[in-house]
Amino acid sequence: MSKPDQVEEFLENYDENVLKLAIELRKLLLTTLPGITEQLDLPARMIAYCYGQKYADLVCVIIPSKKGLKLGFNRGTELSDPKKMLEGEGKLSRYVEIRSADTIKSDALITLVKEALKAYKLRTDEK
């Protein structure tokens, strides 16, 4: 597990808007995903949220960049997305472009995060 100051230090490498949105998104994930482990992946330049060390235990990732911020979902192709927020063409993963604090606070994004947790529990039989 990453120390909070390491994650904050990593995020400080990005512009103020990306930093602000990433901190808010991080708070949402840590409160919505009970007992989640936050892991800083420096080589991949992302913050992973998982319940174990295997890829199957990964729920989502925060992906900051110079252009903006994304919230990636492991097995995002399996998530219900009635508001059509998910983007991407990968075989399994999908992401949401985080453009504003309103996106983070939206019921649609919160629902996606909760759906990702349910999907994780189903695939790991952790009920």
What domain range includes position 21? 4-122
**Tally of domains in the chain:** 1
Q: How confident is the model at residue 125 (pLDDT cuts 50, 70, 90)?
A: confident
In a domain, 94, yes or no: yes
In a domain, 45, yes or no: yes
- Predicted confidence at residue 127, as pLDDT, reads 46
65 C-beta neighbours (distance < 10 Å), count = 11
CATH number reported for the structural domain that contains residue 86 in this entry: 3.90.1150
**Inter-CA distances, 85 with 13, 34, 54, 72, 81, Å:** 27, 23, 26, 11, 7
In a domain, 108, yes or no: yes
Mean pLDDT of the 39-66 span: 93
What pLDDT, in 10s, does the model give residues 16-38? 999 999 999 999 999 999 999 99
Mean pLDDT of the 75-81 span: 92
In a domain, 30, yes or no: yes
